[in-house]
Structure 1
Amino acid sequence: MITWFRNLTQTWFAKVLFLLLVLSFGIWGIEDTVRNFWRETAVVRMAGGDIEVPEAQMAARRELQRVQSQLGTGFEAEEPLRRAIAMQAVEQLIAERALRAEAARLELVTPDEAVQAYVFAIPNFQTAGQFDRLMLDQFLRQNDMSEAQFLQIVRDDLRRIQLTGAVRAGAAVPEALARAMVRYEKEQRIAQLVELPLLDAPEPEPPTEAQLARFHANNPERFSTPALREATIAVLTGETLADQIEVTDADLASAYEARRGQFETAERRDLQQALLPTEDAARQVAEAWRTAADFAAVEQAAQAAGGAALALGNVARADLPIEALAAAAFTAPEGGVTPPVQSPFGWHVMRVAGITPGRTASLEEVHDRLRQELALERAADLAFERANRVEDALAGGATLEAAAREFGLTVARVTLDAEGRDAEGLPAVLPVPVAARAEALRAIFAAELGRAPRLQEMREAEGFLGIELHEARAPALKPLEQVQADVRLAWVNDAKRRAQEERAAALLGAVRGGQTLEAAAAAAGLASTRMGPFGRQPEPGAPGLTVPREILPQLFAIPVNEPTMVPTAAGFAVAQLLEIVRADPAADAQALENARRTAQQQVAEDLNAAYLAALRSRAEPRISPTLLQQVVP
């Protein structure tokens, strides 16, 4: 038998079998590598460098933070906007890659000195006109960016300026175009104007009951209740459960030891710094600084050597991101001057003007705060546990109110509209955190009648929200007796508007029949005013130029002697164009130059956009729709 096996191992069949066994065990050991071998990891594949998922995700998060900072903390980006932000971030990365590829093709190089000069010149990184390293560090922390990433962005930006600057420099504007723009912008009008405000309309005859009833029935949108929803709301947050949590003294002592770092105030040092371009200059400044501690003299010496000096202020070690700088500054004695330390920005020399020792707050000092923190943390865990038990109760057929009361949720029954007002028009009281009020209103009006309630996590506050919709009331016309005063006032205002509209239409008809507006207005007992000359955008409050903004576009679109009529916020206006005052571009050199510059800038923008589009097309980016979903912040 052994001889038979030995002979079998010499056959091709056995060799192939052993090879398959070896491969299978090898693949089992590197399963993740083999499984991911053909898996796509790049959101975009393109000439100039692929864009991986993590890079795109970070860019999308930064773009979302930028949008939120512009629109305020209360702004909540819905899913469609988040997808648009992700796509915009990816397109920006594609444009950067395409420009980088073009710069490489043209062999453009950005020297380190140019990058440094550019960073030092950014106003946001300056204090009292001097570069402030702390401002740069704060910017990097706020944008979740390393120094290397930032410098690469600056380098790419400088290359982009070189490329697009050459393209934009080719923008040229014909003289005829600039002249046409001046003629359009500076052209003025003179017109006769009659205004018919509703306040000047004659009082109509008092309406009859039948007229009021008909007006009430024909305008239901004015006199109806808003759409209302009646629902039970249950809220579960850590704050609502915190008072049910017991925290012992032993728990406090243990937590204090585990979190001692939170209660430590780091040592801080009042630092002064000189930044020099060379090591020799830094050594000379350091030596002079050790012999004489006059900071004004150090500033002058640094500037004479091509550098700068500034006070960094009272900083902690963590505020100095370069370890070599931090080590030098926090090992020097008070009043001491550090030896020169090199960084990407040059050679640093620092003096320790003062030291504030660090300290650790005692347990007694942080007792109440620590107890509250522990209670909230345990309450958050308890909230998840309670949420699961509430879900089980709801799945078993319990009402939301019954389950909420059983497990200690805050519960209320409310009737409100989409704006959060009750049936009386007053703000409804919702048992949710203020930050989650808008989210709760949206959830109430998204709930469906007859659907079993469930808990959902609140995005704008930590906790859970449950909604059980009882009734959805459609807008209903209020009884006439209840809103009779409002109906009467609306009827009167409507009658006045119709009266003024008829008077305005009569004036329009008279002018089209051959009369001037001035004569037609005088015959009707109305005042008219000669206005102008005025431009397309007259300055607000200019004397004699209070032309209703609603009629301005009409006056710049009709021929001379033609009348026009428009409704305004106050009533109606009728005007007749009397004269067109043409502009002479040759008489206004400044306006001609402004028009030429504006047109040139627009042409340059168009050229730049076309250039970037051409670079994108050449790079042939291929976006993965599947991986793009992972980029959505």
Structure 2
Amino acid sequence: MLGSLLPDSNENPSPPRYRGRPCLATGRVFPMVRPPPSRRITMLTALRRLAGTWFAKALFLLLILSFGIWGIEDVVRRIGTDTAVARVGGAPIELTEAQQAARRDMLRMQRQLGAGFEMNPAMAQAIGRQAVEQLILDRVQRKEAAQLHIAVPEMALRDYVFGIPAFRGADGRFSRTLFDGFLRNNGLSEGEFLNLLRADLQRQQLVGAVRAGAAGPDALTKPLLAWEREQRVADLVRLPFAAAPEPATPAEEQLRRFHENNPDRFSSPEYRHYALAVLSPETVAAEIKPSDEDLHAAYEAHRGEFETPERRSIEQALLPSREQAAAIAEQWRGGAGFAAIEAAAQQAGGQAVSLGTTDRNGLPVQELAQAAFALPENGISAPVQTSFGWHVLKVTDIQPEQVRGFDAVRDELSAMVRRERAADLAYERANQVEDALAGGATLAEAAQRFGLALVDVTTDASGRTQAGARAELPLNGAAEDIALRAVFAARQGDSPRLAEAGQTALFSFDLKEVVPTALRPFEQVEAQVREAWTADARRRVQEEQAAALLTAVKGGKPLAEAAREAGFPVQRIGPFGRQPQPSTPLPAELLRPVFDTPPDQATMAGTPEGFAVAQPVQVVPFNPDSDPLALGRVRDAVEQAMLNDLEGQYLDALRAQAEISYNEALLGQVTPR
């Protein structure tokens, strides 16, 4: 194309053309000479010849490759890079698939544990690793199912989905709306969910054969039931701390040594000095000043909330025929009480009931509503026919309609409008605060600019000041706990950022100083040290007394005899079982040890009130054949445990046969840091 646009070299060149431009200073025209055509032809011909050389072709190819690679840089960069987080028999589990599975597990856990649950990095990593292991087990089972030619027909999959109760509407049929909501909440497409369900049905078929046929043998179930229902009678000796003799008054040197040897008991907790800013609808509501137009619009939108319709208390008699209803009406108008009307209605084959107090909409039958709300107070209606029979109504009380006007609810409307707009304003402010903090603004500057509640406090992890009082924080309840955990998990120097504290509040903090735990001076805690030393001395005395009773029992003396010689009261309790009961005086700390101790021995345990020593004196065995229902329950539990063990061993064997490899470099990327 370039050659066709050039003149032929044999043509006569035209004479040169001159163009001139006057000088602005002198007016003289300086000619501008156009290059002769022969020179232009020479230059273009040279370029054309150069384009046909191998050097030019290689240069063009290099340019094309560079622009192509620049456009698909992310693809080229991945060449030779493994994106699988794990492989099962060579089949990859891609990082994106593992991330989606971990995200679903995290969402499910957060829904189960509630809004106050906070996921820390260690938990997130554990959930990610568990998601990968579940995907590996899924691949292993799919591979085995394919080798055994186990399939799930589409009709069986459809019937299973339609049979899931969570997807059924109020009419008992499959609800597409509920199904789509489930997929949306779990971050799944319909195809992904069906694939998961198909794999689960394959797994059920796969392990069903392994689980079939397991049975709990009597050789195992009967001893288990006998062990579970065994009872014991025991002698019990209590040694409360309060009954210990008063120890001798300690010297100051003893108290100081006790103070130094127990620093954890007399040290101040770690305190942190921080500024805490909170953004919530409550913190910005005061800035909202609704106009009269806003209040009138809100009143019209919520008019139904300020109007109470007329309500009536109604009694009704329902009869089979018009004649019977008319007779009841005459009797009622004659002054008969409701008890007499009720008896007369029953005798005529009908019934009389009180409908309570209701408004017009509370009566579902239109004919009854019209008749009841047309009567005066204590009025009796004429017989009214419906599909149920013939009705006679009496209005016993009328509560007139009540309408609260605009002026009466002005304050409520103002609070309502502020509350509604405050949520939107807080959401808008959140983005502005984040931008300001990211731009280098201090927390105090952002709080002042955007109306955040700001406090500067020093507290421990429970929110108490160094004086022991509760700090006045602009959060409370679970939201305060979330903020305090974040403060005491932060490092000094971290930049402030917004975080959620519950569903409506956001907070940010600036950690200024960490006050480490320190041993309080002896003079400051002398009273607490003396009290603790006395309590420890009482504890040692009672512990020694309990140990002496154990030694006597080991020497062949019954606990009751050893206790009487030492001057301690003995209590015989039982029979009692292995499960703790409120009526059993045996301390919970001794229940299990008593069943692990033979009758010729004794056991002791510490309790909140002191020490307790017990010796079994009688074992009451249980005959498992005496309770077939309990034996069946234990047999079912044993069978279920055996089935679970068989399934677990089978899956472990399948997993051991598979070639599984991990990409350790990608495992840490399954969940966000």
- TM band (smaller chain): 0.5 to 0.7
- Does residue 559 (structure 1) correspond to residue 602 (structure 2)? The answer is no
User: C-alpha offsets along residues 492-523 of structure 1, whole Å, 9 cap, x if unaligned?
Assistant: 44344333333323322333333222222233
Cα shift at 1:173: 4.9
- Does residue 540 (structure 1) correspond to residue 540 (structure 2)? The answer is no
User: C-alpha offsets along residues 186-230 of structure 1, whole Å, 9 cap, x if unaligned?
Assistant: 44433322222334x15526736646666555544334432323x
Gaps of 5+ in 1: 253-365, 395-399
Distance 1:441 1:612 in 2: 44
Aligned to 2:608: 569
TM score, norm. by length of structure 2:
0.63
Distance 1:223 1:540 in 2: 38
- Does residue 221 (structure 1) correspond to residue 264 (structure 2)? The answer is yes
Q: Compared with structure 1, are the counterparts of its residues 483 and 120 closer, same or farther at alpha carbon in structure 2 (3 Å cutoff)?
A: farther
How do 1:110-125 and structure 2 match up within 5 A? 110-125=152-167
Is the contact between residue 560 and residue 570 of structure 2 (CA under 8 Å) also seen in structure 1?
yes
Aligned to 1:341: none
Distance 1:75 1:424 in 2: 30
Distance 1:506 1:604 in 2: 49
Q: Compared with structure 1, are the counterparts of its residues 164 and 145 closer, same or farther at alpha carbon in structure 2 (3 Å cutoff)?
A: same
Q: Compared with structure 1, are the counterparts of its residues 148 and 567 closer, same or farther at alpha carbon in structure 2 (3 Å cutoff)?
A: same
One of 525, 533, 557 as aligned partner of 1:515: 557
Is the contact between residue 285 and residue 418 of structure 2 (CA under 8 Å) also seen in structure 1?
no
Distance 1:557 1:96 in 2: 43
How do 1:286-365 and structure 2 match up within 5 A? none
The one-letter code of the counterpart of 1:600 is E
Per the alignment, in what secondary structure is the counterpart of residue 108 of structure 1? coil
Aligned to 1:526: 568
Is the contact between residue 436 and residue 460 of structure 1 (CA under 8 Å) also seen in structure 2?
yes
User: C-alpha offsets along residues 340-380 of structure 1, whole Å, 9 cap, x if unaligned?
Assistant: xxxxxxxxxxxxxxxxxxxxxxxxxx997886577445534
Say which one has the larger Rg: 2
The one-letter code of the counterpart of 2:499 is M
One of 417, 433, 440 as aligned partner of 1:383: 433
User: C-alpha offsets along residues 524-576 of structure 1, whole Å, 9 cap, x if unaligned?
Assistant: 333323333433x235135xx43222223333333331222222232212222
Aligned to 2:484: 441
One of 121, 128, 150 as aligned partner of 1:79: 121
Distance 2:251 2:651 in 1: 69
Aligned to 2:172: 130
Is the contact between residue 42 and residue 53 of structure 1 (CA under 8 Å) also seen in structure 2?
yes
Q: Compared with structure 1, are the counterparts of its residues 527 and 390 closer, same or farther at alpha carbon in structure 2 (3 Å cutoff)?
A: same
How do 1:8-27 and structure 2 match up within 5 A? 27=69
Per the alignment, in what secondary structure is the counterpart of residue 538 of structure 1? coil
Gaps of 5+ in 2: 1-41, 295-415
Aligned to 2:146: 104
Is the contact between residue 225 and residue 478 of structure 1 (CA under 8 Å) also seen in structure 2?
no
Distance 1:386 1:3 in 2: 63
Q: Compared with structure 1, are the counterparts of its residues 589 and 131 closer, same or farther at alpha carbon in structure 2 (3 Å cutoff)?
A: same
Q: Compared with structure 1, are the counterparts of its residues 622 and 581 closer, same or farther at alpha carbon in structure 2 (3 Å cutoff)?
A: same
The one-letter code of the counterpart of 2:151 is V
Per the alignment, in what secondary structure is the counterpart of residue 603 of structure 1? helix
Per the alignment, in what secondary structure is the counterpart of residue 455 of structure 1? coil
The one-letter code of the counterpart of 2:593 is Q
- Does residue 166 (structure 1) correspond to residue 209 (structure 2)? The answer is yes
Distance 2:476 2:635 in 1: 55
Distance 1:577 1:144 in 2: 59
**Percent of paired sites with the same residue:** 43
Is the contact between residue 284 and residue 426 of structure 2 (CA under 8 Å) also seen in structure 1?
yes
RMSD: 4.4
Is the contact between residue 47 and residue 101 of structure 1 (CA under 8 Å) also seen in structure 2?
no
Cα shift at 1:180: 3.9
Is the contact between residue 415 and residue 423 of structure 1 (CA under 8 Å) also seen in structure 2?
yes
Distance 1:469 1:374 in 2: 32
- Does residue 69 (structure 1) correspond to residue 108 (structure 2)? The answer is no
- Single out whichever of 416-425 and 402-411 deviates more from structure 2: 402-411
Cα shift at 1:42: 3.3
Distance 1:453 1:6 in 2: 64
The one-letter code of the counterpart of 2:155 is E
- Does residue 597 (structure 1) correspond to residue 597 (structure 2)? The answer is no
Per the alignment, in what secondary structure is the counterpart of residue 456 of structure 2? strand
User: C-alpha offsets along residues 46-93 of structure 1, whole Å, 9 cap, x if unaligned?
Assistant: 349543333322221111112112222111110111011112122222
Distance 1:445 1:160 in 2: 46
Cα shift at 1:441: 3.0
Q: Compared with structure 1, are the counterparts of its residues 491 and 162 closer, same or farther at alpha carbon in structure 2 (3 Å cutoff)?
A: same
Aligned to 1:196: 239
How do 1:264-303 and structure 2 match up within 5 A? none
Per the alignment, in what secondary structure is the counterpart of residue 130 of structure 1? coil
Aligned to 2:496: 455
Per the alignment, in what secondary structure is the counterpart of residue 630 of structure 1? coil
Count of matched residue positions in the alignment of Structure 1 and Structure 2: 506
Is the contact between residue 437 and residue 446 of structure 2 (CA under 8 Å) also seen in structure 1?
no
Aligned to 2:510: 467
Is the contact between residue 238 and residue 383 of structure 1 (CA under 8 Å) also seen in structure 2?
no
Distance 1:404 1:120 in 2: 53
Distance 1:94 1:104 in 2: 15
Per the alignment, in what secondary structure is the counterpart of residue 268 of structure 2? coil
Per the alignment, in what secondary structure is the counterpart of residue 145 of structure 1? coil
Aligned to 2:360: none
Cα shift at 1:610: 2.1
Is the contact between residue 508 and residue 563 of structure 1 (CA under 8 Å) also seen in structure 2?
yes
TM score, norm. by length of structure 1:
0.66
Distance 1:83 1:18 in 2: 50
The one-letter code of the counterpart of 1:576 is Q
Aligned to 1:419: 462
Cα shift at 1:236: 7.3
Distance 1:156 1:228 in 2: 53
